[in-house]
Amino acid sequence: MSQRIRILTMLTLLLILVVGAGATRAQDSDLSVALIIAQGGLGDRSYNDSAFAGLTLAAQEFGVDVVPIESSDPVGEGEQLLRAAAEAGFDLVITLEFSHFDPLARVAPDYPETLFSIVNIVVEGPNIVSIMFDEHTGSYLAGALSAMVTTDAAVPNTNEDVVLGAIGGVQSSGIDVFLDGYIQGACAINPDISVLVAYSNGFGDPATGRELALAMHESGADVVYQIAGGTGQGVIEAAKDTGFWAVGVDSDQDYLAPGFVLTSMLKRVDIAVYDLIGRLVAGELEGGTVAQYGLAENGVGISDMTYSRHVVPRAYTDRVNELREGIIAGDISVIDTRVISEEQRTAFYSNRTCAGIQDLMSSMGS
């Protein structure tokens, strides 16, 4: 068995060398950074590519050696990948793969000289930096914009119902944080609004996404937020075919159906990766910390609305900017439903409305 691991490690190292030979070389820093690519791989035009863009930019700006590590099975080979990267002597090993939280907790103590970083989950350890995003605040802005648009008959693709929709891939705290932020933003603008919520039970089924979005549209929703990966592509197609608004997620999806995607909630992994390397170079990066990327850091936010800004009144985007400033200043608090208690969660999810949000807020004493 150990023989096999050794061979695997050697093969991985060889791969790193081959890939590394093509990577950017610069002289002004002798630091090196490895980026382990998550499922979906490079070329996904979303999460992985975004992180890689940040990595490339950091290599140019700071002159560090950077190496992306791709694997055909990043989930199954988690431990080998992390070990191989640490053995190869990188100063910072960033993994984009969420499922590496378990192997990372095992591997990191064996390499105290190496800094590790993981995205979307907090892993404890003196040499681990966890990168987290405030998906709830970014979604809050998208919800606020949607709520303003749905009652404005002058905006195309809207109806008279004060109803929005949100579709999640599966019900989990990582998905619900988007949905709950969206509901909070919508309720902040219009406490009488209702936000329909449904789950497609998967991230790769656009046909189901389409039917689910149509069902929401039939129930009066004219803006539908999708947090459902490939299933969400069907939501956007339904919006285009039937004439309502979709809201994209993670990357700027406005171009997928120009004029039918109101905006996209951006999660800027590129900024996080770039920033992380910048702090490494400056000698400020410390393990055992959580790097939180929110509105202030431009880690989350809404897209530039390239194809919708001309039909959405300026006053609405100004209002969204005010809300953004308010959240950054701390005047507006948005609840992160990942960190509420079990009782609060049960109470809120049995009444996921504006009134439910009010109850949740008062139970949290804010």
Partner 1 sequence: METLDLIVNIAASTLRLATPLILAAMAGLLSLQVGQVNIGLEGMMLAGSFAVVAFGFWLGSTWMGVLAAILVGVALAALFAFVVTRLKANLIVSGLALNLLASGGTAYLLEILFNTSGTFSPTALQSLPNLSLPVLSDLPLVGRLLFNHSPLVYVSWLAIPLTALFLYRTIPGIHIQAIGQNEEAARSVGIPVRRRQYLALMIGGALCGLAGAHLAVGDLALFREDMTAGRGFIALAAVYFAAGRPRLSALACLLFGLFEALQFRLQLASSIPPQFFQMLPYVMVVITLAVISARKEWRKGWS
Of the two residues 256 and 327, which places its CB atom closer to partner 1 in the complex? 256
CA angle (90 as vertex; 85, 91 as ends), nearest 5 = 135
- Measured from the CB atom, is 60 or 219 closer to partner 1? 219
The amino acid at residue 158 is T
Paired with 64 in beta bridges are none
Q: Which CB atom, from 41 or from 109, has the smaller least distance to partner 1?
A: 41
Nearest to 48 by CA among 289, 350, 273, 306: 273
**Residue 239, H or E segment:** helix 229-242
Separation CA 91–CA 52 (nearest Å): 17
Nearest-approach distance from CB 211 to partner 1, in angstroms: 6
Which residue has 């339904």 as its token pair?
238
Cβ–Cβ under 8 Å, residues 262 and 223: yes
Tokens of 295: 């509105």
CB 92 within 8 A of CB 101: no
Site for partner 1 in 148-167 (CB under 8 A): 165
Binding to partner 1, residues 80-109 (CB under 8 A): none
Question: Does residue number 173 form part of the binding site for partner 1 (CB under 8 A)?
Answer: no
**Closest to 86 in 3D by CA, of 69, 73, 99:** 69
Binding mask 196-235 for partner 1 (x = CB under 8 A): xxxx-xx-xxxxx-xxx-xxx-xx----------x--xx-
Query: Cβ 256 to partner 1, closest distance in Å?
Result: 7
150: DSSP letter:
H
Which lies closer to partner 1 via its Cβ, residue 235 or residue 285? 235
Point out which span in 11-19, 123-131, 142-150, 350-358 binds partner 1 (CB under 8 A): 350-358
d(CA 330, CA 336): 14
| In the complex, minimum distance from the CB of residue 263 to partner 1, in angstroms, rounded to a whole number | 20
Residues 234-273 as x/- pattern, contact with partner 1 by CB under 8 A: x--x---x--------------x-----------------
Residues near partner 1 (CB under 8 A) are 40-41, 43-46, 165, 171, 196-199, 201-202, 204-208, 210-212, 214-216, 218-219, 230, 233-234, 237, 241, 256, 349-352
